[in-house]
Amino acid sequence: VRTAVLISGRGSNMMALLAAARADDYPADIQLVISNRPEADGLRKADAAGVTAIAIDHKDFDTREAFERELDAALRAHKIDFVACAGFMRVLTEWFVSRWEGRLINIHPSLLPKYKGLHTHKRAIEAGDAEGGASVHWVATEVDGGDIIDHEAVQIEADETPESLANKVLKRELVLYPRALNKVLMGWH
Ligand code: GRF
């Protein structure tokens, strides 16, 4: 399945997907990486891994939809069938989501439906939660609101900080995301 990964930064989840996709029996064929931030480290990493990596800077566009039209055009130009957001920090509008619904997933660093949005680890610690984690979910128009595909949980220790929790959760994300994408694309046609 011709797949694109959308990123905004460091791209560790994207690299985990690329590594998984090297296996012959993995269903995703990652053809394209797009970042809305031209300076994203992940773009360089994808390029070094031999994948087409392009920047579409959201700041070049007056509206969210104008940015998304460009994104949509790039995905279509590369004949992409499936899109995985991985640390992609732009909220997608109804315009884009309705076009890609059912072919668009995201990873979010919380045990959804808890802590949609930002500062998830800090919020989980402050709430006194016993566990934090990450979820892979379908993208729907409500931010971080679509059906959950899979998740990974980690224990929150007494001395946990948002940074230590983020590090622990990220390690699990790198296992979770390839597994979730595999699950979704198995038997895809
Ligand atoms: C991950 O924790 C992801 O869940 C969150 O942003 C982080 C992205 O990291 N939305 P990376 O770009 O994959 O390294």
pTM of the model: 0.97
In the reported structure, the alpha carbon of residue 108 is separated from the centroid of ligand 1 by a whole-number distance in angstroms of 8
Q: What percent of the chain has pLDDT over 70?
A: 99
pLDDT recorded at residue 187:
80
Structure-block tokens of residue 117: 């949005």
ipTM over 0.90: yes
Does residue 144 surpass a pLDDT of 90? no
In the reported structure, the alpha carbon of residue 157 is separated from the centroid of ligand 1 by a whole-number distance in angstroms of 21
Question: Which pLDDT tens digit goes with each residue over 63-89?
Answer: 999 999 999 999 999 999 999 999 999
Question: Which pLDDT tens digit goes with each residue over 145-154?
Answer: 899 999 999 9
> By alpha-carbon position, which residue is closest to atom 12 of ligand 1?
11
Nearest to 139 by CA among 183, 175, 92: 92
Task: Map out the domains of the chain with their CATH numbers.
Answer: 2-185 (3.40.50.170)
Question: Which pLDDT tens digit goes with each residue over 20-49?
Answer: 999 999 999 999 999 999 999 999 999 999
pLDDT recorded at residue 188:
81
- Average pLDDT over every residue of 165-189: 95
CA 7 to ligand 1: nearest atom: 12
pLDDT recorded at residue 145:
84
Does residue 155 surpass a pLDDT of 90? yes
- Average pLDDT over every residue of 112-140: 97
pLDDT recorded at residue 143:
83
Question: Which pLDDT tens digit goes with each residue over 96-117?
Answer: 999 999 999 999 999 999 999 9
User: DSSP per residue over 33-98, as a string?
Assistant: EEESSTT-HHHHHHHHTT-EEEE--GGGSSSHHHHHHHHHHHHHHTT--EEEESS--SPPPHHHHH
Is 42 flagged in the annotation as binding?
Answer: no
CA 107 to ligand 1: nearest atom: 4
Q: Which residues contact 95 (CB under 8 A, 6 or more apart)?
A: 65, 68, 69
pLDDT recorded at residue 78:
98
